Amino acid sequence: MTLAILTSIISIQPKSSSAGGKSRDQIIVEISQDLAAKTPAPFDLEMVSQKFPTEYTESMNTVLFQEVIRYNKLLVVMAEMLINVQKAVKGEVVMSEELDKMSTSLFNNQVPLKWAGVGFLSLKPLASWT
C-alpha cells in the first residue's frame, strides 16, 4: 500500500525543473549515457556452454546456462532502450509510451518496468539495481 502511494506521488510530480539547473531531458540523457557505458556486452553462449557443459552430473551448469540466457536478454533490452531513449529525447525517433515511461523511471531512479519484466526481481532503486 505504501509503495502504491509513493508511486502515485512520484507520478504526479512536475516534469520540469527550475531555472539554473539541468533540464529533465539533460538529466535523462546523462543517466542513459552513463548506464549505456556501464552495460556490458552479452555473454558468448558458445563459450559458456564449452566452459561449463550441461551434463547430467553437473546440474549447476544447467542453471548457470539458463541464467546467462536470461541475463543476455536483459542486456540486449537495456542497450537497445538506452540508445532509443537518448534518440527520443533529442527528437531523432518518436517518443513512444514505453520510452516515455522509461525516461520517467530513469529520472525518478526507478528500474524501468520493461527491464524488471525481463530481468531479476528487486525493490531496489535503479542506482542500486545496476
Q: Is the pTM of this model over 0.75?
A: yes
> In which domain, by residue range, is 112 found?
22-42+75-129
What are 81-120's pLDDT values in tens digits?
Answer: 999 999 999 999 999 999 999 999 999 999 999 998 888 8
pLDDT value of residue 77: 95
**Residue 77: closest CA among 104, 126, 116, 48:** 116
Highest mean pLDDT: which range of 2-11, 86-95, 119-128? 86-95
Q: Is the CA virtual torsion 108, 114, 118, 122 positive or negative?
A: positive
Phi-psi region of 109 (alpha: psi -120 to 50; beta: other; left: phi over 0): left
Residue 2 lies in a domain: no
Give yes or no for a contact between 71 and 40, defined as CB atoms under 8 angstroms apart: no
CA 28 distance to own-chain centroid = 13
Q: Which residue has the higher pLDDT, 57 or 19?
A: 57
**Is residue 90 included in any domain, yes or no?**
yes
Task: Please give the tally of structural domains in the chain.
Answer: 1
pLDDT by residue (tens digit) across 28-87? Answer: 999 999 999 999 999 999 999 999 988 888 889 999 999 999 999 999 999 999 999 999
Closest C-alpha among 21, 25, 22 to residue 107: 25
Residue 36: predicted pLDDT: 94
| Domain membership flag for residue 28 | yes
